[in-house]
A and B are shown apart, each in its own frame.
Chain A
Amino acid sequence: MGLLSIIRKQKLKEKEVRVLMLGLDNSGKTTIVKSLLHKDIKEISPTMGFNIDTISYKGFNMNIWDIGGQSSLRTFWFNYFEKTDFLVWVIDSSSLQRLSENFKEFDKVLKEDRLAGCGLLILINKIDVYQGDTEKLKEAVINTLQLQKLENHCWNLLCCSAYSGKNLTKGMDWIVDEYERKYYII
């Protein structure tokens, strides 16, 4: 009985969900995690390393792997994708000029074989300071990231604010619902 097979067996039984937080630098990944953990979000320096946090939500243990978004770390993302259930891709609504850069990275990450079949939650962060039409913004993100063309991934897109907490629980709900839909309907 190897450790790796034990981990796998227990994961389902104990409703352990592995979530990978990715996105470009300064998109607010760590702030989202801190906000969900009800920690102080006033001063957060850019994540250069990585942290794992567990959030208990609706009977699920969400192990969130927050990996630094600086460009030097991008090649490094691929080392973590084992048994990833959900990928949360965070986009900064205040720097939409980086959308195409987002697509490039997003596309690269999704090509990773070990992410096959995982759920995708795209969070457009900092919506509390966004001035424009959010529906149009969503449409632009869907088109840029070519979400409609995705196969083998269920996905959802939400506008959120790590600062005000808007839609964060909605995102968590989607993850839990999707997980249950996939594995726990029986």
Chain B
Amino acid sequence: MDSDDLGISKIADKLLNEIEGSLRLILRESDDSFDDGEEMKEYNKFTKSIEQFQPLPQLLDSRLRNFINRVIQSYTNNCLYDGHDENQQLSIRIAKVFYQFSKVRGTKPVSNCLSSDISLIGYVLRRIESADAWEEHFFLLMWLSVLILAPFPLVKLDPMLPENIYQLGFRYLRTGGKERDAASILMARFLSRVDNYRYLDCFISEYFNSISWNLESNVMIKMGMLSTVNRLLKVTTLDQLRNHLDMIFLLISNLLNEDRRGLPSSILRLFIKILGKLSLFFLKQERYDSIEDILTHLLHLLSHNDTVIRYCVAKQISKIGQHLDPDSRNVILEALVQLLGISHLSKGFQDNLDINSETIDIQSYHGVLLTLGEFCRLRLMTTEWISITSSVVHRTLFVEQHRLTYSAGSNVRDASCFDCWSIFKKYHDSELPIIAVVTLFKDLMLSSCFDGDLMIRRAASATLQELIGRHGDRLFLQLSIPTDSISRYKVRLIEILDYTVLGHTQKSYQLPIQIYSELDELLYSEFMKYLLESGIKNYNYSLRKLSAQCLRRMAQISDRSDVNVIIDGLRTELLETSAEGLMYSIAELLTLLPSNSVDLSLYSSILSNFTFDFHRDGFHKGEEYLHLLRGLVKRFSLEPTLFELETVFNIIRCDREEIISEFVRLASVLNDIPEKYANKWLYYVRNGNLASAKALGYSSIMTLKNSEVLGLLHKNQLDAKLRSSLVDSISIFLQRGGNLNGHQEELIDQLDDYTVTNKGDVGSFIRLSAIDMISTNRRYFWDESSINLRMQIEKKLLRLACEVMDNVKLAAFSLLTELKGWKLQQQIDQSVLLHNPEQYFILLLKIYDANYLQDEECSTEFWKGFSFSGGSSQAVDLTINAAVYAFLRSWEELADTQKCSLLGIILSLLRASKIHHKNPRFVKMQTSCLNFVCNLLELNLQVPPEFDLKVLFVRTYNLTLGTSKISRLSVAIRTLTNLYLRDENTFKGCKGRLEWLGEKHHSEKVKAMALEGLKEIEFEQNK
């Protein structure tokens, strides 16, 4: 049951009550006055409610008749009769309500609820003529289709009535919309009446001949005609249709013979349904030749490209089979199996049918398997045919056809599961050959665990539930499971093949291990065989890897497998075929062998024959090589040759995460790197190769060439990701006992990297790596003897803890807390920063007030960071508000002297700097800081009277000099305006500067902003 089904099941009663309420208003059932707008609103509510029934429309049934009766009642009371013309909006709305019911529940069940008061026929006919909306036409045609079922000749009501209905029905059959569906129901019911045989003759003879058909170019009309005939065949007797059957059949037959593949699916589907029904009429006439012709057509269509057509054909063929005698049924089955083109098919179960996944016609197989499944579901097969079907399915459960970028065949596997499900559900133990049961059980277990498609894994497990639940006792006895263990096997197997677990490929590949340990090695050899023969060489790269890992674990848990023998086999196969996946599997299995127990010469030809073309080969080929090489180096002391190193450096040119991680692991076990490759390694780093940068920390190159590596950190032209990887590598080098004494400050400076590219603040990668490096190498960086170093780190972390980026902020704050040993009362994590950032800033400011308020150096760094959170254009409103409000709270708790000194520090950041004025980070910091201060002023920050705010005016003034940056000037204008409004005497100069900017600045935008500021001043003064 999917989530939609679950949802509607839970709320169906509530929704039905809502619909009930809505209808009361829409259908004007109360005496209240009516408001068109309100009714429209209620209608929209109604559609929302009813649409929720789409997944399980049957849940409407308990109230459907009542709803439709009320629809009819309201329409009759308000719209049907002459003089109801003023209710046009209402009539359309009622019709729409009816259409909504039909759309969700289907036309047939809804039409069955319509009333059959024949006295209304005339009114309904007249109303159809005058109505404009298609919904109303649809509703009235449907209603008319019920009204005309009157049990006496229609001419008795009105001599012209049959003619009028026929013409009306015909008119609407020609339309393209939903009215056509209603018209076809009306026509079918009309033509099925015995008193209308004349019209039936006319309908069939005029339109069901090749000339009329070919003259008619409109597909809609053709569909209208065909759906009428399709419905007609359902409701009429053989006697009524006897004279027309051939005509219909001939037309369809000719059209199928002419251009079967060129017909649109919508037409073809109706052809198939009609052919299915015709065959039942022919059966009554014992016209077996015609049935054979129909079957021939259907069998041809079984390989159609459209799945819907294939399924439709499967249903019709099985329906025909249901009405035939067993011998004829077997003939159909033989014809079906012939379509599969299998040679040497015998009557018993065969486990070695010659079915080549790569060459079969997928559509044809799918169609045939669906039909076989339908035959099983309807219990139309003999034991002999069950054996044949089982033999086919035993092979098709694993069909996969490889195309250039994907593999086809999941529909064939799906249909194979359907066949098995039908067999196990519908046949008793005594009807099923035990060998087929056992074989299919094993196959389905493999599919459940190893199929790459989630739906197939679940389909296979659903099938296994039926198999185990219905035939479990017999199956497990056959598998020699002790009688007293059978129940346990049944339960545990179904438990293990859990619906949710099967939803994850990785988890489902772990299931064989669980089965092995919990169910006494059940199917161990089958799992191993599958993994070795197919799994580890799977077309799909990730499945291959998962298979290799599963193989290793399976070999590890059991002493039934000789790992050496398996490896020997795989190695031989690798040398012969070079199949992808084998090298990876060998590498996985080698980890199970004792160290240095392998004859390395056996691998020399594998390694030396390997070539890798960076431009052509897939990354997985290289990944496998690196995986194997690492295994051999690590556990069996292989020393890579120059050729092998060359290959490695060729492979790592692939910028893939998988290659990078394999190379990193390889680097950790490589002891000596020849000078040539050490240089090559650094050359790669210099040229932006991520794998080589990430792996450097594990290599001896770091010891030999550390100054060169450190030099690379300062090369700003190198990609930030690469530099961050280098920082990571240095961190690893230090962790592994590397010595970089004297370089601490140089490394700590990485906390100040603010590289910005078109990808944004990429310097954050480096800052994060640097935080991580300090965190994991505390003894190196947080040395008690070096107070200066600790001071530097503390200052920088303090700044970073106030910054805009959450991950940097959190990492810096956490590290600082640990280094300082602060005991916090509340835990700060990602969710606090996301949902309650103000809480974080309050805590931060408390820490600041308690520890750093008097420390000018630390304070300066702190406010540098805080300015970004409180005023950066990059920060989101949530962060800015949180920082500013937290500041205002903390401000209230400070004494005036503290406020003065704090404000002094903040404003000192706005001081012009000859050294930094071209540094983009400094420029940004000043703009953010000014914005932060401006935000505070606008929130009416209470500045102690002894603090001279003129400093702010002067610095703001200076910040407007020689710049055309709109962001900075706009904040400066806001600040100048605010200062002037605070005290126009003290800040007279502000207005002067605004006037200058408004008149003389070269940017029109700045001029406009300044004038806006002046206008605000004027407005406030005039208040």
B residues with CB within 8 A of A: 1, 5-6, 9-10, 12-13, 58-59, 61-62, 64-65, 105, 109, 112-113, 307-308, 310-311, 370, 373, 377, 411, 414-415, 417-418, 421, 425, 455, 458-459, 462-463, 465-466, 468-470, 472, 486-491, 494-495, 498-499
Contacts and interface: CB of A to CB of B under 8 A. Distances in A.
Contacts of A118: 9
Contact of A48 (B6, B112, B414, B491): B491
Contacts of B486: 49
A2 B455 contact: yes
22 contacts: A1-B308, A1-B310, A2-B414, A3-B418, A3-B463, A12-B58, A48-B488, A48-B491, A50-B494, A53-B470, A65-B469, A79-B494, A81-B1, A82-B462, A117-B10, A151-B13, A182-B61, A184-B61, A185-B61, A186-B64, A186-B65, A186-B109
Interface in A112-131: 113-114, 116-118
A7 B1 contact: no
Contacts of B415: 3
Contacts of A52: 465-466, 469-470
B638 to A, nearest CB: 48
Most B Cβ at <10 Å: residue of A3, A50, A83, A186: A3
A84 to B, nearest CB: 8
Given A80-B465, A151-B13, A152-B12, 9 more contacts: A2-B414, A7-B421, A48-B491, A50-B468, A50-B469, A50-B491, A79-B494, A79-B498, A117-B9
A39 B294 CA distance: 45
Contact of A51 (B65, B113, B472): B472
Most B Cβ at <10 Å: residue of A7, A47, A68, A81: A7
A contact patch SS? mixed
Contacts of A47: 487
A74 to B, nearest CB: 12
Contacts of B458: 4
Interface of A: 1-4, 6-7, 10, 12, 47-54, 65, 68, 73, 76, 79-83, 113-114, 116-118, 151-152, 181-186
Nearest to B500: A79
A49 B472 contact: yes
A3 B1 contact: no
B462 A3 contact: yes
Contacts of B311: 1
B459 A2 contact: yes
A183 B9 contact: no
Nearest to A12: B58
A47 B490 CA distance: 11
Contact of B499 (A1, A79, A152, A184): A79
A48 B495 contact: no
B17 to A, nearest CB: 13
A73 to B, nearest CB: 6
A182 B10 contact: no
A2 to B, nearest CB: 6
A186 B469 contact: no
Contacts of B370: 1
Nearest 7 A-B pairs (CB), nearest first?
A: A117-B9, A49-B487, A52-B469, A48-B487, A49-B490, A186-B109, A3-B459
B1 A82 contact: yes
Nearest to B13: A152
A3 B472 contact: no
A117 B12 contact: yes
Nearest to A186: B109
Nearest to B466: A52
B113 A186 contact: yes
A31 to B, nearest CB: 16
B12 to A, nearest CB: 7
B10 A50 contact: no
Most B Cβ at <10 Å: residue of A51, A54, A76, A79: A79
A3 B65 contact: no
Nearest to B109: A186
B6 A114 contact: yes
A185 B491 contact: no
A113 B495 CA distance: 18
B676 to A, nearest CB: 58
B13 to A, nearest CB: 7
A114 B425 CA distance: 22
Contacts of A12: 58
B491 A68 contact: yes
B487 A83 contact: no
Contacts of B105: 186
Contacts of A113: 6
A1 B307 CA distance: 7
